[in-house]
Copies of this chain bind each other. A is one copy, B any other.
Amino acid sequence: MGYDVMSVTCPSRVVLHRIGARWTVFVVNALEDGPLRFTALVAKIQGVTPKVLTETLRAMEEDGLLARVEYAEQPPRVEYGLTDLGRSLLIPLRAVREWAETHVPEILEARERAQKG
**In whole angstroms, what is the CA distance A12 to B8 when docked?**
30
**In whole angstroms, what is the CA distance A91 to B99 when docked?**
9
Copies of this chain held together in the complex: 2
A92 contacts the other chain (Cβ, under 8 Å)?
Answer: yes
Q: Which residues of B contact A69 (CB under 8 A)?
A: none
Q: Is the CB of B92 within 8 A of A95?
A: yes
- In A92-108, the 8 Å CB interface with B consists of 92-93, 95-104, 106-108
A38 contacts the other chain (Cβ, under 8 Å)?
Answer: no
Residues on A lying within 8 angstroms of B by beta carbon are 1, 3, 5-8, 11-12, 15-22, 25-26, 29-30, 44-47, 61-65, 85, 88-89, 91-93, 95-104, 106-111, 113-114
